[in-house]
Amino acid sequence: MGIKDRLFGRKDDAAEVVSREAEAPGCLHADLAERWDDAADMGKMDRISGYECRGCHQHFSPEEGQRLQAENEARLKETMAGS
Ligand SMILES: [Zn+2]
């Protein structure tokens, strides 16, 4: 009984740590830099290998980076509309 409870507790703790790391609290990833693995592809927007946040230096896949950029734009528009 006691062991089962402890296992449960540990599992919850681990999940909490993972989600906290993934969200990188305090950084909105609003300043993303494009990254290219192959120098020959640099500057080609359709050959982007990923994005790096200039704030927290976290790396993102092209899909994630584009989603974050879209979210940032939406947030900007919301901020401007609200003022
Ligand atoms: Zn960031």
- For 22-79, write each residue's pLDDT tens digit: 554 689 999 999 999 999 999 999 999 999 999 999 999 999 999 999 999 999 999 9
Angle among Cα 58, 75, 18 to the nearest 5 degrees reads: 35
Global pTM reads 0.62
Using CB atoms within 10 Å of the CB of residue 52, give its burial: 0 to 12 exposed, 13 to 18 middle, 19+ buried: middle
Calculate how far, in angstroms, residue 58's C-alpha sits from the geometric centre of ligand 1.
Answer: 6
pLDDT per residue as tens digits for the range 10-34: 555 555 555 545 554 689 999 999 9
| Amino acid in the structure at residue 11 | K
Calculate how far, in angstroms, residue 32's C-alpha sits from the geometric centre of ligand 1.
Answer: 8
- Two tokens, residue 59: 């790396």
For residues 62 and 49, the answer to whether their CB atoms sit within 8 Å is yes
> In this structure, how many other beta carbons lie within 10 angstroms of the beta carbon of residue 32?
20
Calculate how far, in angstroms, residue 67's C-alpha sits from the geometric centre of ligand 1.
Answer: 13
Q: Helix or strand or coil: residue 57? A: coil
For the chain, the domains span: 3-82
